[in-house]
Chains A and B, each alone.
Chain A
Amino acid sequence: MEQKLVVSLSPHAKAPFRIQTVMLIVILALFPALIASIYFFGIRALLVELVAVGTAVFTEWFIQRILLKRPSRIHDLSAVVAGLLLAFNLPSSIPLWQVAAGAIFAVGIAKMAFGGLGTNPFNPALAGRAFMLVSFPVEMTTWPQPVVTRTLMRPDALTTATPLGVIKEGLKSGIPLDQLADKLPTWWDLFLGNVGGSLGETSALALLVGGLFLILTRVISWRIPVFYLGTLAAFTGVFHLIDPSRYADPLFHILSGGVMLGAFFMATDLVTSPMTAPGQILYAIGGGLLAGLIRLFGSYPEGCSYSILIMNAFVPLIDRAFPPVRFGARPVQTQVKEARHG
């Protein structure tokens, strides 16, 4: 026989999609929010995004090729996702060198130092954001106004507060919610994203489109976003019912800040979220509760990133506690009896 045959164990067939495909779907799902960010915050938004993605990819390549002398794996596109998500968590006015520093931390420390793709316990983009928030607190909380700031220059002259910031500051100075109403955006602006905030978090509409795409392509399950947002809504809803003058309504909480981005794109990060349905539900409920707690009672207006980072830490425990239900777990006797009677 002249031809050489491959001998390997079954299966001899393979599903067509690969990690690269998964990441490509995530990137595509992020496109509506990307376009929204450029629309609302101008070309500067794109610049921040390019620097974040470029630095993230370069950092991964540099560590793999130059430091570890291994083949580079940047083709799996996971660094692109991390860079893009980090950029989405930043204000458009952020200095570019700070963006680069955040991306280096996100990929270099939060991801590669833990062994690279698949072995990092925390979402790299969120870890990068947390790093930037403590390192550059002023720049990280200076929010340019949307729409009017379509310029390549740093638009630091025209800043605004985020809707959540308005509430937090207002309540601190003892102003009840109904008197803050004229300082708050309309539902419609909140939904579209025409408000101050981080690049990719303001447009609920764009995130919803991308999130649904992720669910339909089965890259993520619906459970994490639904239970995360649902818990946040329920938690804030209870307090709203108790005292509407102090606590905003649940819809406001869902549409403002970064929870839409967090619920669909960060909490669902495959690497740092639980594997089974019950585990995912517990994780999402925990995240929603934490986000609500931080928002209502913390000193910090948002709460999404920390809620997810904290829950990330519990994932190994959750996975251990909620393995899938084994086939054949039920005793024989009851099964046969049921089958005979039913």
Chain B
Amino acid sequence: MKYATFPKGGIHPHEHKQTAHLPIEHLPLPEQVVIPLGQHLGAPAHPLVKRGDRVKVGTRIGEAQGFISAHVHSSVSGKVLKVDEITDLSGYRRPAVFIQVEGDEWEEGIDRSPELVTTCDLSPQEIIERIKDAGIVGMGGAGFPTHVKLSIPPGKAIDTLIINGVECEPYLTADHRLMLEKTDEILVGIAIIRRALGEPRVFIGIEANKPDAIRVMKERVKEWEGLEVRPLKVKYPQGAEKQLIKALTGREVPSGKLPLDVGCVVSNVGTAHAVYRAVQKQMPLVERVVTVTGNDISRPGNFLVRVGTQVEWVLDQAGGLPEDAGKVVAGGPMMGKALPNLEVPVTKTTSGILVLPRKDVGPRSVEPCIRCAKCVQACPMGLEPYLLERLSARERWEEAEARGIVDCVECGSCAYICPASRPLLDYIRYGKTTVMMLRKKRSA
């Protein structure tokens, strides 16, 4: 069978999906959690608690600030130790709430029973309100507040909802397990998102390397109208929003435009699951599935982890940090962030914790570009990474802008494939942020 995919660029890294067969496991409660107030794109939430306050699971501890922002809830019950700054994944100091865990008491009204609730009579506005109340953000990685994404500005129309079950990053299997184990909840969640958007058609995109998930989703989706499971060719970065839209609808989001400009909204399967829990069970986003993996991890797995649990504690549950660990990555190897230390907490967007051995992370000698054009062939955006690297290094910003540097989706395909081990993406990132800054100045 020939699967759909995006036509331009892409690579096929080794999949390493060794945790694909491991069912989701509930981790025990940690002794302490550190819940960052900025786990999403946009402004961090404003703290609602102070030292000594008692909170339950689901207590709102951070209030969304500004248009693009999301509420933050406590993932445990206990006592607030302090509100302090921590170094988060981006390397910035950001406020976070430290909570000492005492028992496991949940806020009233949260339905923790496993019964599936399929009926939903809420209006689109009420749905979006509940999603906002629950602090749902995109769980694929970027963390865009979901209620903002679903609030379609007047004059725009959505005809397609795309559900991202691609999980194209090597190693990660959290979405895969979720699709296998929470199929119906995800489908109800999708139906709810669809309702909020005015009943567009729905494509659920899943890469062909998850045949069991495709089978189960296809089987269950029969009970729903307007939903269609679409298997996709295994090719990175299939899960990137623009590439996924192209693969499923043939539409290309133009430079500087959003999916909704081509009538699409893209949402991750994990987000659909969180939407189900928020709307049908009044449950805020306080836990998520995290794939803990790496070739030397003694007890890898897919763990249901409370938001704010520190990576060190999660790794201890997975058998501890291996002796020869060289790098710990939050997310997958292609787009994940290397952790500066293990006190960094799991957030709403942490899809995996990947431990790479020292021998695989040492600096590689950078060799001269031999113009092999592999980076040009690999770029899914049709850019020339070798050229953008050179232009950035020489600070030739106008040319870099003309060559489309801001269109880079930072998927890393170019740097992955480069036989000269050139830091292509490092330079392109530098150039991209500089050009965006210059643009801002220009329009100001």
Contacts and interface: CB of A to CB of B under 8 A. Distances in A.
B242 A328 contact: yes
B326 A6 contact: yes
B208 interface: no
B250 A335 contact: yes
The main secondary structure of chain B at its interface with chain A is loop
B58 interface: no
Interface in A1-38: 1, 3, 5-15, 17-19, 21-22
A328 B254 contact: yes
B333 A11 contact: yes
A14 B425 contact: no
B420 A328 contact: no
Contacts of B410: 10
B122 interface: no
Contacts of A119: 368
B92 to A, nearest CB: 14
A18 B368 CA distance: 11
A325 B8 contact: yes
B382 A327 contact: yes
Given A12-B336, A18-B419, A332-B262, A118 B371 contact: yes
B12 to A, nearest CB: 10
A1 B252 CA distance: 47
B228 to A, nearest CB: 15
Contact of A10 (B14, B337, B419, B420): B337
Interface string B393-430: 00000000001100100101001111111010110010
Given A7-B339, A13-B416, A332 B250 contact: no
Given A117-B368, A327-B381, A12 B419 contact: no
Interface residues of B, number: 73
Contact of A12 (B14, B312, B361, B371): B361
Interface string B227-242: 0000000000000001
A330 interface: yes
A11 B382 contact: no
B29 interface: no
Contacts of B338: 5-10, 12
B167 to A, nearest CB: 15
Given A19-B420, A270-B370, A10 B334 contact: yes
Contact of A22 (B170, B329, B370, B412): B370
A111 B439 CA distance: 40
Interface residues of A, number: 48
A329 B367 contact: no
B137 interface: no
Contacts of B426: 9
A172 interface: no
Residue from B321, B326, B419 whose CB has the most chain A CB atoms within 10 Å: B419
Contact of B416 (A7, A15, A18): A15
A250 B215 CA distance: 55
Nearest to A78: B370
Contacts of B14: 13
A10 B412 contact: yes
Nearest to B6: A327
B119 interface: no
Nearest to B373: A275
B368 A118 contact: yes
A328 B257 contact: yes
Contacts of A1: 312, 341-342
B336 A328 contact: no
B381 A326 contact: yes
A26 B328 CA distance: 37
A117 B370 CA distance: 7
A332 B242 CA distance: 13
A338 interface: yes
A327 B407 contact: yes
A24 to B, nearest CB: 11
A15 B13 contact: yes
A75 B376 CA distance: 26
A273 B369 CA distance: 13
A256 to B, nearest CB: 31
B383 A324 contact: yes
B326 A11 contact: no
A6 B361 contact: yes
B379 interface: yes
Interface of A: 1, 3, 5-15, 17-19, 21-22, 73, 76, 78, 116-119, 219, 270-273, 275-276, 323-332, 335-336, 338-340, 342
Given A9-B338, A270-B372, 14 more contacts: A5-B326, A6-B361, A11-B415, A15-B417, A19-B370, A22-B419, A118-B371, A118-B420, A324-B8, A327-B380, A328-B255, A328-B381, A330-B254, A339-B249
Smallest CB-CB A-B distances: 8 pairs: A11-B412, A118-B368, A13-B333, A275-B373, A328-B254, A12-B333, A326-B382, A327-B381
